[in-house]
Each structure stands twice: as C-alpha cells, then as structure tokens.
Amino acid sequence: MPSDIPAPASRRALLRGAALVAGTAATTGLVTGRLPGRASAAPLLVRGDRPALPLGVQSGDVRPGSAVLWAKADRPSRLVAEISRDPSFRKARTVRGPVVTPETDLTGMLRLGDLPPGADLHYRIRAVDLRDHRAASAPTVGRLRTAPGRRDDVRFLWSGDIAGQGWGVNPAYGGFRIADAMRSRNADFFLCSGDNVYADGPLQASVTLPGGEVWTNLVIPEKTKVAETLDEYRGQYRYNLMADNWRAFLAETAQVSQWDDHEVRNNWFPGQVLEDARYTEKRIDVLAARAHQAFHEYVPVAPISPDTEGRVYRVIRYGRHLDLFVLDMRTHKDPNTGNRETAGDGGVLGAEQTAWLIRELQRSKATWKVIANDLPLGLVVPDGAAAQEGLAQGDPGAPLGREIDIARVLTALQRAGIRNHVWLTADVHYTAAHHYSPDRAAYQDFDPFWEFVSGPLNAGGFGPNALDATFGPVADFVAAPPTANASPAQGFQFFGEVEVEGHTGQLTVTLRDVAGAAIYTRTLDPAAR
C-alpha cells in the first residue's frame, strides 16, 4: 500500500479529514468552474472525437429555489447545462458548470438557483472539450420537479440496499428488476435510506437459483473483490449506473441520499481495526475516508450539512407540509458492543447532531416532520453472537446504550408538542409498518408515532427481525421472504411511497412490491400542536 497512508485516526480526525476531502470534491469548480491546479492538459482533439457522458445524469437535494445536477465525463472537459420548462428546450437557461478532471474521477456537480416552485424542469448536460468549445458531447437529458407551492401535493419514494449479497446488475431485467416500477410512480423525489452500494460485496458472473435457473450479473474488475482503494470505491457507483433502467429512473427523479455501512463495509464503526482476511488495509478510518470521497463524487448531495466534522446530515424543506430530516447514524457510531450501557454517550447521533435535530424540529413550521433514520429504531439487528449493530438489543426494559440517545429525541419532541413526526428506514431487507406507543412501552416519556421500513431494492431479502419493547412498538404489517438471501428474481424487493395531500395535509404511506403493487396503506391525519 502507498507509504503516505495515515496512521489510525481518532473519530474527530477521521471526520475532519473526510470533511476536507468532501469539501474539496464538492467545491472544485462547482460555481466558478476553475480547473484544479494539478489537472493534466487535455489531449489534442482528433477530428470527430468528442467527449461523452457515459453514465447519464442525475439531480439531487431539491429545495425551495435550488437543486444540484450531476454528470461524469469520459475525459477532462467542462460541464454545461441547459434548463427549461419546455422539453423542447425553448427559452432555455444555460448554466456553466465545472471543469471535471481525474482528481474527481471526471465527475462534477452544477448548483441551480432561482428555480420556480412546483414546476417540472427539463435539463440537459453536455461535456465541452477544453480546447475546442465547438466539440461537445451529445446532450444527455433529465428532469426534476422543484419544491412545491403552498397547496401542491407531494409524492416521494424511499428504499435502500442496492446490489448486495451477490445480486447485481442483471441484463434480463434491464438492470435492477424493481427500477421500472419505481420509475412508473412519477415521484417528486427518491429518498435512498443508505447502502447506496455494496463496497464489501464482490459479485460472480452467475448464480444458480434454488429452482435451477441462473441469475446473471454484469461484472467489472472493481466488483470482483472488496473495495479498498479510492478507485475501487468509485467503481461501486460506476457499477450501479450500468443498470439501464436505474440510470433512467435517476435521470427523471431527483434523489436525497443517506449513507450507511455498506458504502464502506458491513457494520463498520469509527476506529475499528478489521479482522477480515479479504482486506489488506485493516484500518476502517482509512477505508471510510476513501469511501466518503467516492460517495460525494458520485451522489448529488448539496453541501448544506451544518456539521463541523463531515457527517452527512441535513434538512430538506419541501413546501408547506413537509420537512425531511436526513440523519447520519453511521459516522459517529460507537463500537458494536452488547449495547447495554446505562449512560448515554451520543453513540449513534453524537451530541452535535442530536442538538441540531431537536433544534430544527422545534423550528420547523411544516405540517409533517419526516425523519430519515438509516438504522431502525426498535428492531434488533445483531452483529455476531454478542454484539449489536442497531439501536435496540432485545431488552424490554428502560433504555440502554444507543436507545438512551433516541429517548432524548423522543422526549424533546413530546415536550415541544411535536406530534406529526414519521420515521422512515430501510437496512433490514424487508418491509414493515411499526407503531410505537407509550401505552405499551417501558419508557413512556414520548408521544405515539409511526416508523415505516422498506427495502431492499436489489439485494438479498431477509427478515423479519425481532422488535424490542422499550418504546412499545407493534408490527402492523410485515412482508418478508420465507428464506434468507432471497434473490430479486423471487420478488421480495420493496419500496415505500409517501403522499401528502396539499389541501388537507393528510399523509399516506403505501408499501409497494417489486412490481409496484400496493401491499399496505396507512393514512395519517395531522394532529394539532
């Protein structure tokens, strides 16, 4: 390995370094379009040779008046976008974007501002040659829907867990089997609840299914081993964008993305030293910093997190009725013990993120506060025989370990009179609806609320997991496969849909299967504060 790899870092040092890397990737040319100092010179243009955008286009973090666009070129070039209400691009507005170079794997983002509310906007991006501005790629077209006006309805999707447990891009399904059903919902945006990639999940070209059929994976070199180098982490994102229907979905549907464990390695936590023979680099802090850079290069996340140490949390305000609070429950996570500590140490959110969450929830004027938690609140998720990966541990009594940190948030919500909060998660590879109530709970200083679980998108199906009684949850609905690691071919892939009615403020959650059929629906009326 290179000699300049740092020594094992503290959690604070890891986050500081990751923030610096992400900040550099996010701001290089983002507004100014400047060429980074160490970029190599562009080659002489050969007649007919033009740049290309091989992995499509994406948009993300749409907020009132603003959004982020993304593209990757095949060579150093400048990204230029056109934006219009009209799909024929009449009266288009031109946005001059960054110069992309190998320093960011030829990826770049363009920040859009002054966007009208409640509008479908069409955009197209070109890569323009650095030496001859007349030589540009063919335009790649996308669409995004801006944040709504006061009375507009809202519809968004959520799920997670993409290309895991040996199930990758399958040409027989156009890439990912579930993508076509998600695309047909014509959602305002898509919330990816973590595990955007499986950096620790090598793929084989084919897998024989229980009935004797063969599942076929596309395979690239970066997916034949666990990711360790920066380019191997980048390759995880390049790989998922080889799925034609997934690339089409992302071009038409803005995304809001969390990151969780498989973007680095299963069940990781800061400071961990791996005992895994597949890895030559054992220090998770080194791997996480590389993975963090690749995430920010390939996922259109706006640089709006208030965190001082690089955690990926933020609030997306989306019209009169919806504020979306996107948590980072991974970067500050304490080691996976039995999770039975009797004093809270901020081991899942950290003190800064906890204070931010409570403060922003209290400031929110939206009817609904939807909290995107990449780890489920009440499901027991073991890490081996004695340790716990999740927040719960199966003890039905008073809050212990990470439960203490969540209890603080729930109690703060109760004391502030905030009852219209709904939690959305993925992670466990099945779908469910959980209702939490102090009437059934060992800990009672909170108001009733719902948590909805969905996933996976294209990964092994598992579950269901046991519920911990500390906060009094019951499962109102569960859909899970009969056997572990069910393939997408077996159909146990799920996504959720949230609709908020613009006039009444009612919120409806629908859980959908791999074909998009509704298998559960729950409508919630907003409670008065």
Per-residue pLDDT of 182-214, as tens digits, reads 999 999 999 999 999 999 999 999 999 999 999
Residue 102 backbone phi and psi in degrees, to 5: -60, -20
Identify the pLDDT of residue 1.
36
Burial class (CB in 10 A: 0-12, 13-18, 19+), 526: middle
pLDDT-derived band at 39 (thresholds 50, 70, 90) equals very low
**Out of 72-86, 335-349, 428-442, which region has the weakest mean confidence (pLDDT)?**
335-349
Strand ranges in 341-392 using DSSP code E only, listed in sequence order: 368-372, 382-383, 387-388
Identify the pLDDT of residue 343.
87
Q: Which helix (H) or strand (E) holds 125?
A: strand 120-129
Mean pLDDT over residues 285-308, rounded?
A: 96
Identify the pLDDT of residue 18.
40
Using alpha carbons, list the distances in angstroms from residue 375 to 20, 388, 446, 466: 26, 12, 19, 14
Percent of the chain whose pLDDT exceeds 90: 87
Identify the pLDDT of residue 379.
98
Mean pLDDT over residues 123-132, rounded?
A: 97
pLDDT-derived band at 150 (thresholds 50, 70, 90) equals confident
pLDDT-derived band at 48 (thresholds 50, 70, 90) equals low
Structure tokens at 394: 């199966």
Identify the pLDDT of residue 528.
66
Using DSSP's 3-state secondary structure scheme, residue 248 falls into helix
397-423: per-residue pLDDT in tens? 999 999 999 999 999 999 999 999 999
Rounded Cα–Cα distance for residues 201 and 298 (Å)? 18
Using alpha carbons, list the distances in angstroms from residue 455 to 176, 217, 431, 458, 461: 13, 20, 6, 8, 8
Res 33 pLDDT > 90: no
- Give which of 127, 92, 130, 128 is closest to 112, Cα–Cα: 92
Using alpha carbons, list the distances in angstroms from residue 186 to 52, 247, 350, 388: 27, 15, 36, 38
71-103: per-residue pLDDT in tens? 999 999 999 999 999 999 999 999 999 999 999
The contacts of residue 17 (CB under 8 Å, 6+ apart) are: 6, 9, 289, 310
- Give which of 56, 107, 140 is closest to 296, Cα–Cα: 107
Using alpha carbons, list the distances in angstroms from residue 197 to 64, 374, 432: 29, 14, 22
Structural fold of domain 154-524: Purple Acid Phosphatase; chain A, domain 2 (3.60.21)
> Average pLDDT of the chain?
91
- Give which of 335, 332, 378, 337 is closest to 356, Cα–Cα: 332
Rounded Cα–Cα distance for residues 525 and 523 (Å)? 7
371-400: per-residue pLDDT in tens? 999 999 999 999 999 999 999 999 999 999
Rounded Cα–Cα distance for residues 131 and 321 (Å)? 48
Rounded Cα–Cα distance for residues 268 and 475 (Å)? 28
